[in-house]
Structure 1
Amino acid sequence: MNSFINELFLNKYKEKLLEKAKKVGAGDISQLKEKLKDEIEEKKSEFSKIDPLKELDNYLSKNQNTAHDPKIIKINKPLDQKKIDSEKLNKKPYKTLNSYIDVEKVSNLKREEIEFIWNSRFMNKENTLIAATDLETFNIMLSNAKKNPIFLLPLPKDGVSDIANSNSNKPHKNHELHLIQWIFSEKFTTHCIITTLAEYKLNKEFSRPHTTLTFHSELADSKDIILINGLVESENIKLPEAQYLVLNVQKFYGGLKNSVEPNKRRLKLLNDFTSGSSEFNLQDLINESDIHS
């Protein structure tokens, strides 16, 4: 490749090189190269000592007034060349309340109107869970969640239709355990994710939740309302099953309206599980999780 490039160079500048050869008393290009050998090597040595970027940086630092001259192109150091986009940097990896509704606009509305808009926002969305609660109830729920960020809940697997039927008091024989995990993303956003225990055992931190609940508290202080939305993201979990699990999340963490104080038996199960107490009993958990309990 180098010989090919050299040949192209010689063909292009052959006449000028021959003219230069005559001036220095050389018969041809080969003699010219030999005569100028020492001079060429000396120039190479001089150029190798020069750092062009350093030289340019020194020049610019001595001539600050040239910084505004459009003819001068300043070359920054590699780290300075990166321009960080502040919007991308501050973009959250999850949706906040503003992702769904204009918080500033709805803040002028009554609580009932906000709740109506919230429900309407998800009216035609499939596999969604929508709710709203008051600040007092949410604070109790949040307090228990921070003390017990991980928990287990059983899901009956022997007839989903019986779960929603208030007239059915048949005991459920088969249950599937689900892992409840709370994530406190920021001041106004709290997540509760639900994963089958089998999935979690198989994939650990890489397990994919089948249901995700998000609690938005931007309007808590001004309107005494926490807006909640959820999504069921697995074909293996039906919407009524997810609703059953969410209802039990509320029951155990004290998030049911008209029942601000959490049931002491359920609260004990929460604390026993978190502390790893030998008193934690799976059958007691199943009994307390029953829809009619």
Structure 2
Amino acid sequence: MQRIFWRSVGSYAKQPFCSLKLSESEFPYDLKKWWSVGFRMMSRFATGFNPLREKPLDSIVDIHRLKDRYPDDIASIWDDYHIGRGHIGATMKAKLYHLLHHRAKECRHFVIPLWRGNGYTTIFLQVQTPYIIFTGLEDYKARGTQASPYFSVCFYTEFAESKDLVLIRGDIVFTSKLTDSEAKWLMETAQSFYLNDVRYKLVERFNKDTHDFEFKDVLQALDMPIL
């Protein structure tokens, strides 16, 4: 059996994540699966990191060990690895990522209502590929670019050409602001507004024809009540 590629505390000192290590007893999933592809065992994120500080893919997984895997196998391993670890894992086809990247050049910002209880809180997002950054709209209004991100998403394109696969990783910066399920919903919903032609018209309107933008149209697109 191949050994786990552990990172020492010192090697993560300059990274935006905590450097705690997980023992085998703390890891509830199939360890053989991760050993076989050389995943780096990491802890949960630390609060207050800079979401645009690069977290290289090879600091998460041994890329060379994935090169001979089928795309579906890579996607399954990547998704399962992130379950229950304080991160969100997903994948998409390269063609869809290129569409998102192209559209984000023209329209970097949008707002998404996050439903909670009997109402919603509005989340402001900025797409700066390979990142999407989410924060509260009220925080952004108050602090502008100094507003702390609630959640950041990074797209890894190392397998886009060879496997037609882009790996997606989301990191919740403040667990007091978002739950894992809320973060996953935001990530999927943001992608839908950039990849769906009908929904993207709202993104265009928000960025290019602001005077014609109506937030109620976003609510209707998401089947949310207009309060």
TM-score w.r.t. the length of structure 1 is 0.55
Paired residue for 1:46? Answer: none
* Structure 2 CA distance for aligned equivalents of residues 135 and 109 of structure 1: 17
* Structure 2 CA distance for aligned equivalents of residues 140 and 236 of structure 1: 30
Q: How far 1:230 moved relative to its partner?
A: 0.5
* Structure 1 CA distance for aligned equivalents of residues 210 and 75 of structure 2: 41
SS of the residue corresponding to residue 152 of structure 1 reads strand
Alignment of 1:1-293 (within 5 A): 93-126=53-86, 128-158=87-117, 174-184=119-129, 190-234=130-174, 235-254=176-195, 262-264=196-198, 266-290=199-223
Answer with 1 or 2: which has the greater Rg. Answer: 1
| Number of corresponding residues | 173
Of Structure 1 and Structure 2, the greater helix share is in 1
Q: Decide whether the 8 Å contact of 1:100 with 1:121 is kept in 2.
A: no
* Structure 2 CA distance for aligned equivalents of residues 109 and 247 of structure 1: 25
* Structure 1 CA distance for aligned equivalents of residues 185 and 83 of structure 2: 20
Q: Which runs of 4+ in 1 moved over 2 A?
A: 119-124
* Structure 1 CA distance for aligned equivalents of residues 166 and 138 of structure 2: 32
| Partner deviation per Cα, 1:74-131 (whole Å, 9 max, x = no partner) | xxxxxxxxxxxxxx9xxx93102112111222112211221233234324412x2111
Q: Which runs of 5+ in 2 are unaligned?
A: 1-13, 15-51
RMSD (Å) for aligned C-alpha atoms: 2.0
Return the letter of the residue paired with 1:146.
K
* Structure 2 CA distance for aligned equivalents of residues 124 and 278 of structure 1: 42
SS of the residue corresponding to residue 208 of structure 1 reads coil
TM-score w.r.t. the length of structure 2 is 0.70
Return the letter of the residue paired with 1:286.
L
* Structure 1 CA distance for aligned equivalents of residues 76 and 66 of structure 2: 11
Q: Which runs of 5+ in 1 are unaligned?
A: 1-87, 160-173, 185-189, 255-261
SS of the residue corresponding to residue 161 of structure 2 reads helix
Q: Decide whether the 8 Å contact of 1:134 with 1:224 is kept in 2.
A: yes
Q: How far 1:212 moved relative to its partner?
A: 0.8
* Structure 1 CA distance for aligned equivalents of residues 122 and 163 of structure 2: 37
Q: Decide whether the 8 Å contact of 2:155 with 2:169 is kept in 1.
A: yes
